Amino acid sequence: MNTDILKGKWNQLKGEVRNRWGKLTDDDVAQIQGNVEKMIGKLQERYGYNRQQAEKELNDFLNAPTGQPRRTA
């Protein structure tokens, strides 16, 4: 997983993060601040994912081609 993508583009991605994972609150998004470990933890907490599933979801999100619609949960 390219952690630099999430950290470096967090301000641009956080709207897309909220669209894809609607169970994440504004406070969750503010706490994550582009930190991959915090993002994985929040996905586990809000969606009941195990770590492997949370990492897969995040990887799929980060690796989606630019301009492609991202699915919502």
Number of domains in the chain: 1
Residue 17 counted as domain residue: yes
Residues 31, 55 contacting (CB under 8 angstroms)? no
Per residue in 18-65, pLDDT tens?
999 999 999 999 999 999 999 999 999 999 999 999 999 999 998 887
**Torsion sign over Cα 29, 57, 43, 22:** positive
Amino acid 73: pLDDT: 52
pTM over 0.85: no
In a domain, 9, yes or no: yes
Query: Which domain CATH number covers 13?
Result: 1.10.1470.10
DSSP 23-71: TS-HHHHHHHTT-HHHHHHHHHHHH---HHHHHHHHHHHHHSPTTSPPP
